[in-house]
């Protein structure tokens, strides 16, 4: 059976690029998807964005220029796309033009995309959400599942919650199959500069640990997410469902930093400072208040926002995805970090 056309948003961003690469060239860790597919892959890229990395991917990959905030610009992306699958991974996490950008892209943009998908008679729409619509776990020992209530974290979380509402409403109409996934903090090849900066901070002994560092964080290696996305397309019963897609278990923040240090030093022979910037819990609480104030004025400051989350537990349970999709994350934290560092070295990126 010939696979349907894939329509991918979010490239040349991190996850979108990786998804296109693993569809076209294969996902070696997962036998069902180990071989690259000859299926046509159409990728929505903003006008003016550098698509060089996408152009180098082997396979039937076609770049279409368009903007989620401009509904008419999406017409070429959906031309002749009846029966296709949309993988919507585009979104604004750290806006460069203030809080309004969250809603323009993450909410209005997804509504434009859903309307165009219905008009083109697309079969299934797989939407990449986030942990942020659920916020932070109410207790250190708590773990989110798909029945956990919404409690959006700041404007990003609210925008992604509104996007989930739009996707679920579209699916309920019955003319478009929809599936939601919620990946948490992810890592792996094709990473952006902000993730590389995190590695450098750890190497240089500047990684901030707020409080004890025992707070748990679910993380997801990018190829694990790609496996989840592919399963959301192929498993018929996934229509109308929501899934947490992450590594097998959460990690403490101390474990994350310790693992990266070990990989840098033992696997790649890089000198590591073995230090932390240890700060009391109230630093994150002050950052939270500052973040809320700044965003309330319509602005956004990335470093303050990230600092506000550093002492929080954000942990999820992947049992539903394992049971219903057959999802099995094949790459754990240590191996994923090895591949991340190898990718940086192969790209000539200084760590």
In this predicted model, what pLDDT tens digit does every residue of 189-240 receive, in sequence order? 999 999 999 999 999 999 999 999 999 999 999 999 999 999 999 999 999 9
In this predicted model, what pLDDT tens digit does every residue of 2-19 receive, in sequence order? 789 999 999 999 999 999
- Going by pLDDT thresholds of 50, 70 and 90, the confidence category of residue 1 is low
Cβ contacts of 99 within 8 Å, gap of 6 or more: 155, 295, 298, 299, 300
Q: For position 311, what pLDDT does the model report?
A: 95
Q: Helix (H, G, I), strand (E, B), or coil: what is residue 245?
A: coil
**Distance, CA of 137 to CA of 160 (rounded, Å):** 17
Q: Does domain 6-191+219-248+315-330 have CATH number 3.40.50.720?
A: yes
Domain extent listing, the chain: 6-191+219-248+315-330
Q: Helix (H, G, I), strand (E, B), or coil: what is residue 219?
A: strand
| Helices marked H in 75-173 | 75-78, 100-103, 109-119, 154-173
What is the distance, to the nearest Å, from the Cα of residue 289 to the centroid of all Cα atoms in its chain? 26
Q: For position 5, what pLDDT does the model report?
A: 97
**Distance, CA of 19 to CA of 229 (rounded, Å):** 8
Q: For position 3, what pLDDT does the model report?
A: 86
User: If you average pLDDT over residues 307-336, what whole number do you get?
Assistant: 97
In this predicted model, what pLDDT tens digit does every residue of 258-297 receive, in sequence order? 999 999 999 999 999 999 999 999 999 999 999 999 999 9
pTM: 0.96
Pair 57, 21: CB distance under 8 Å = yes
In this predicted model, what pLDDT tens digit does every residue of 26-56 receive, in sequence order? 999 999 999 999 999 999 999 999 999 999 9
Name the residue with tokens 């790649």.
268
Helix (H) or strand (E) holding 243: strand 242-244
**Distance, CA of 222 to CA of 255 (rounded, Å):** 19
Residue 181 has pLDDT above 70, yes or no: yes
């Amino acid at each position: 059976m010939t696979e349907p056309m894939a329509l991918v948003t979010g490239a040349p961003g991190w996850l979108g690029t990786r998804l296109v690469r693993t569809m076209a060239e294969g996902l070696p860790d997962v036998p069902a998807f180990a071989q690259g597919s000859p299926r046509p892959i159409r990728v929505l890229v903003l006008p003016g964005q550098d698509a060089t990395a996408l152009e180098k991917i082997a396979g039937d990959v076609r770049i279409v220029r368009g903007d989620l905030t401009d509904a008419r610009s999406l017409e070429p992306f959906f031309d002749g796309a009846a029966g296709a699958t949309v993988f919507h991974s585009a979104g604004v996490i750290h806006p460069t033009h203030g809080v309004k950008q969250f809603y323009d892209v993450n909410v209005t943009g997804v509504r434009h995309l859903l309307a165009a998908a219905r008009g083109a008679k697309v079969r299934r729409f797989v939407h990449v959400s986030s942990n942020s619509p659920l916020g932070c776990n109410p207790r250190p020992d708590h773990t989110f599942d798909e029945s956990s209530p919404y409690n959006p974290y700041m404007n990003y979380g609210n925008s992604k919650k509104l996007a989930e509402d739009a996707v679920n409403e579209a699916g309920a109409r019955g003319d478009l199959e929809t599936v939601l996934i919620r990946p948490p903090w992810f890592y792996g090849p094709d990473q952006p500069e902000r993730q590389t900066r995190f590695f450098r901070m750890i190497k240089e002994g500047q990684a901030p640990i707020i409080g004890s560092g025992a707070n748990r964080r679910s993380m997801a290696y990018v190829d694990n997410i790609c496996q989840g996305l592919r399963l959301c397309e192929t498993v018929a019963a996934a229509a109308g469902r929501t899934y947490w897609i992450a590594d097998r278990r959460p990690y403490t923040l101390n474990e994350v930093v310790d693992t990266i240090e070990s990989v840098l030093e033992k696997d790649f022979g890089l000198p590591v400072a073995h230090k932390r910037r240890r700060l009391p819990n109230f630093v994150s609480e002050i950052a939270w208040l500052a973040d809320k104030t700044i965003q309330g004025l319509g602005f956004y400051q990335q470093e303050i926002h990230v600092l506000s989350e550093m002492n929080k537990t954000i942990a999820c349970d992947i049992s539903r995805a394992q049971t219903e999709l057959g999802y099995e994350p094949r790459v754990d934290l240590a191996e994923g970090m090895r591949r991340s560092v190898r990718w940086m070295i192969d790209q000539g990126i200084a760590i």
